[in-house]
Amino acid sequence: MKTKKIITLALAAAMVSASALSVSAGTLTETNTTGQTEVTARIDGTTPVPGDVTYVITIPDVVDFGTLTQPENTDKDSFKDVPYSVSLTEVNNLDVATQKIAVYVRDQNASVGNSDFKITNKADSTKSFTYDIYDVLPENITATKQSINANSMTQAAGYKLCDFTTQGDAVDGTLRLNQTQLCGYDIADIVGDYSGYMVFLSTIENA
């Protein structure tokens, strides 16, 4: 009799174990709150999907003029040129007949009416020097070629740098600092590390 009771209990335990298995197979967890399997797909078409990446541009990492030198002759320009490149690396679903990707650039601290591109002494922010931005390489800067920041900035987005429509489009330009700005200073007063940052704004506009 006692043995029968034990056998009955053991069988009951086995059945409970089996039912636990079938119930736990459908248990909802924090990471699986619906019990459904997500099926995803991407359909490439001409209409951009809201929230998706439409394009990728490549911008320069940093403004780096290297070591600057105080020129001896203050009457003659002493340019330090640094090439840079901005390009349209990838693009998808852009209707080039009606759309373009416009790129603007400004100094990190610029605003309308105060739009100089500057590098500033890291230890003393009152010491800074300005530089200009050209949309051509150094060898193509002529006496009549104006920098893109020759005039005052009229919109908060910055100075218009270029329009892109096709993958591979690029602007190879120049950052130019005239070292004659260093003249008139005691070198001990301006020695140190300088840094400056640019902000590139891109937006899709009507062509």
Site string for another protein, 122-161 (x = CB under 8 A): -----------------------------------x----
Instruction: State yes or no: residue 200 binds another protein (CB under 8 A).
Output: yes
Residue showing tokens 């209409």: 47
Burial of 6: CB neighbours in 10 Å, binned 0-12, 13-18, 19+: exposed
Residue showing tokens 């700005």: 181
Going by the DSSP 8-state scheme, the letter that residue 125 receives in this structure is: T
Tell me which of 35, 69, 74, 108 binds another protein, using CB under 8 A: 108
Tell me which of 93, 109, 178, 179 binds another protein, using CB under 8 A: 93
In three-state form (DSSP H/G/I as H, E/B as E, the rest C), the secondary structure along 103-147 is EEEEECCCECCECCEEEEECCCCCCEEEEEEECCCHHHCCCCCCC
Instruction: State yes or no: residue 11 binds another protein (CB under 8 A).
Output: yes
Least separation in angstroms between residue 186's CB and another protein is 29
Least separation in angstroms between residue 183's CB and another protein is 28
Instruction: State yes or no: residue 21 binds another protein (CB under 8 A).
Output: yes
> Alpha-carbon distance 86 to 170, whole Å?
6
Least separation in angstroms between residue 4's CB and another protein is 8
Burial of 189: CB neighbours in 10 Å, binned 0-12, 13-18, 19+: exposed
Tell me which of 85, 125, 146, 154 binds another protein, using CB under 8 A: 85
Instruction: State yes or no: residue 24 binds another protein (CB under 8 A).
Output: yes
Stretch near another protein under the rule CB under 8 A, chosen from 80-88, 113-121, 135-143, 180-188: 80-88
Phi, psi of 7 (to 5 degrees): -60, -45
* 38-77 residues near another protein, rule: CB under 8 A: 38, 40, 42, 44, 48, 50-63
H or E, element range at 159: strand 159-164
Pair 141, 178: CB distance under 8 Å: no
Enumerate binding residues for another protein (CB under 8 A). Answer: 3, 6-7, 10-11, 13-14, 17-18, 20-21, 24-25, 29, 31-32, 38, 40, 42, 44, 48, 50-63, 85-87, 89-94, 101, 108, 157, 167-168, 170, 195, 197-204
